[in-house]
Structure 1
Amino acid sequence: MYKLRELESRDLTVINSWRNDPELIGHLGAPYRYINLRVDEEWFENYMRSRARNVRCSIVDENDDVLYGLVSLTNLDQFNQCAELHLMIGNIEHRGKGIGTFAVKEMLHHAFMNLNLHRIELSCLAENTVSAKLYENCGFKHEGFQRKAVFKNGKYIDMHRYAILREEYMEIKGNE
């Protein structure tokens, strides 16, 4: 099975290889660009300085700590009690095995039950129907889309917006 643990510097070599994979980045809202390991080390150092506003977790095998992906809550806003969710499953052979669903559900539990947040939101590429289905299955509601919001592979692509509220999450948990 899987578990979440806080992102550690030892994860950076694997993460850097993922962030340099054009196929993987093609499924995410981020633009593809070449990223050297030092950039990811600085990204990690920045995270360590901003832990009050961000929670970044590695998704790992609970037995041997093999890294499968990342799940994060970013831009935590304590006044409005909201944050943004981000998910990345690194290697193609690990996708479609329930790892993302596990990670999203664990992070939602942490957000609502430990961090006392009220709303978690996210964006995903309109053409990424697999991710959209995962988020909807975890209780996220489609709130709309941003037309031609990101530039990928020479064209502008729409982004879907999703969110889940604490009361929606609690209703799902009560029905499980």
Structure 2
Amino acid sequence: MIQGIQTELRPISMDDFKRTYEWRNDEEIARLEAADWLYRHSHVPLARIEKAYEEILKLDAREMGEFAIYTKEETPVHIGMIGYRDVHLVSRKCAVGIGIGDKRYWGNGYGTDAMKALLHYLFQTMNMHRVQLDTFSGNERAVQSYKKCGFVEEGRRREDVYCDGMYYDTVMMGVLRKDFVALDYTPQKAITTV
């Protein structure tokens, strides 16, 4: 498991994956995740979600990792998903994505902490040099959260995402190891296992 300050990232179980069924079929979440994996795979039957889980289990952790985000409350709550993909071993880079599906935990720093915990793991354990992501300009809360994690805007694809009758830019962001180290993020507990 990967430990954050407010969150713990656990390897996903089938129960975790099934729990995302509700989130993937929620219109508000789908809109906010318009440029993310959660949205691209929304509005799907439970059987398809189960099949996707089985496919993830076959992947090599050096290529992709998917985690369930749990709170560190006395009784931990599964609140979202986070992961990395598109690992390039020569350039030491990858892409990340996150979705907080439990709306009760929006706006309280859980997503930011989960992303910092994952970045800590990617830079310290997997020896990544660069981590990148795409989001859409209509999700300003996500953009601000990513900036708190050290990401900087590196470019935009103008009017690239169509959502709710409007076009939005895709915001391309990246963080280098040195940028993240400068944040001086240290999880309360050391990373134990993955």
The TM-score normalised by the length of structure 2 is: 0.84
Q: Note the aligned Cα RMSD (angstroms).
A: 1.8
Could you list the structure 1 runs, at least 4 aligned residues long, displaced by more than 6 angstroms after superposition: none
Residues 98 and 111, structure 2, Cα contact 8 Å, conserved in 1: yes
Report the Cα offset of residue 90 of structure 1: 0.7
Unpaired stretches in structure 1, ≥5 consecutive residues: none
**Deviations, residues 107-156 of structure 1 (Å, cap 9, x unaligned):** 00000001111110011111211111111111111101111222223443
- Structure-1 separation of matches of 2:113 and 2:10: 13
Tell me how far apart the structure 1 counterparts of residues 82 and 129 of structure 2 sit (CA, whole Å). 18
Q: Which amino acid aligns with 1:89?
A: I
| Post-superposition offset of 1:22 | 1.1
The aligned residue for residue 83 of structure 1 is 94
What does residue 58 of structure 1 align with?
68
Q: Which protein has greater RCO, CA pairs closer than 8 Å, 6+ apart?
A: 2
Aligned residues: 175
Gaps of 5+ in 2: 1-5, 186-194
Deviations 1:79-128 (A, max 9, x none): 22111111101122110111101101100000000111111001111121
Contact 2:21 2:49 in 1 (8 A): yes
Q: Does 1:119 align with 2:130?
A: yes
Q: Distance in 2 between matches of 1:34 and 1:109?
A: 32
Could you tell me how far apart the structure 2 residues matched to 1:110 and 1:15 are? 24
Partners of 1:170 and 1:96 lie apart in 2 by 24
Q: What is the TM-score when the length of structure 1 is the normalising length? A: 0.92
SS in 1 for 2:85: strand
